[in-house]
Amino acid sequence: MKVTGPRLVDSHPSPEAVICTRISGGGDCPWHRHQEIEILLFISGATYRCIGENISPITPGTVVLLGPNVRHGYSNRTRQGTPRRPVEAISIKFNANTLGDWLKTSDARMEDLFAMASHGIHVTGETRNQVASLILSLPEKQGLQRAIQVFQILILLSTSNELSRISAVGCRASTTAVHSRMERVDEYLRKRIGRQIYLRDVATHVEMSPARLSRYFRLHIGKTFPAYLNSFRISRVCRLLRETDATVSEIAAECGFESMANFERQFRKLTGTSPRMYRRRALNAAGA
């Protein structure tokens, strides 16, 4: 049986500084990504959230912060014979190229928050309660009042220790030059994902020395090249687990893992679960 998942959709950036949208209805939200930073409050409904490679149950009151281009969506599927509950949520988006850049440079803690948001952030504890209260009153506000309240939310988040990273595989929010170079790196990795891949060969492909490319990864990506390659392979594994009926061992081999023991260890390290449990959650999220 083929494993299916939400469809990935790219949305276009909005010219507005802050957008606040009430979400209601009984359907699913397919996997998508956008250039805006987003804060989401789930009030009721929805069963699973899908952020990066992470698939987790949603409970009422869930608050998440998503950086630019983080792949996400949610499922409202329930067990067969169980009626769907209407989804009610509030989405706040602001343009990462204007408001977001100003915020990142205004405070070092804010810069750390946005770096963490590239993995998706789950908000908990009293911080969640305060942020949810501010979000609930946002739809009635307009213009500068709305922007000021979003600033308040972000200040709360940037000073909180009640945040947890959702996805092990982060999504870059980088400059055009860095994005262009990393696109070339990713293209090389995609074409050779089932083989041994060496830093020197990637460096040659992007016309850099191995030492310079190694420094480039640490500076701009925040990971060593081996760590990035491993997360790249695991991200591909997650996609195949969701979208195909190939066996776990077949998928591991296709993505360049020669040892099943190492594969299982690396998969659990990055996703927090086993490949089989991940596939089971993907099936539940897709309503299988």
**pTM metric for this prediction:** 0.67
Confidence of residue 5 (pLDDT cuts 50, 70, 90): very low
Domain ranges of the chain: 9-165, 176-285
pLDDT digits (tens, 9 = 90+) for 40-89: 999 987 777 888 778 777 888 999 999 988 888 887 765 555 556 778 89
pLDDT at 6 (0 to 100): 37
DSSP secondary structure code for residue 46 in this structure: -
Name the amino acid, one letter, at 131. Answer: V
Is 2.60.120.280 the CATH classification of the domain at 9-165? Answer: yes
Per-residue pLDDT, 56: 79
Task: Report the CATH number of the 176-285 domain.
Answer: 1.10.10.60
Angle between helices 143-158 and 125-136 (to 10 degrees): 180
SS3 content of the chain, % helix, strand, coil (to 5): 45, 20, 35
β pairing state of 163-165 and 37-44 = unpaired
CA-to-CA separations, 178 to 87, 184, 244, in angstroms, rounded: 38, 10, 32
The sheet carrying 72-75 orders its strands as 9-10, 29-33, 72-75, 48-51, 54-57
**Nearest Cα residue to 6 out of 68, 39, 52, 69:** 52
- C-alpha 114/C-alpha 71 separation (Å) is 16
CA–CA dist 195, 258 (Å, integer) = 9
pLDDT at 27 over 70: no
- Amino acid 129: pLDDT: 96
Helix (H, G, I), strand (E, B) or coil at 281: helix
User: What is the token pair recorded at 6?
Assistant: 């939400």
Please tell me the least confidently modeled range out of 66-75, 90-99, 100-109, 143-152.
100-109
Q: Supply the pLDDT for residue 3.
A: 33
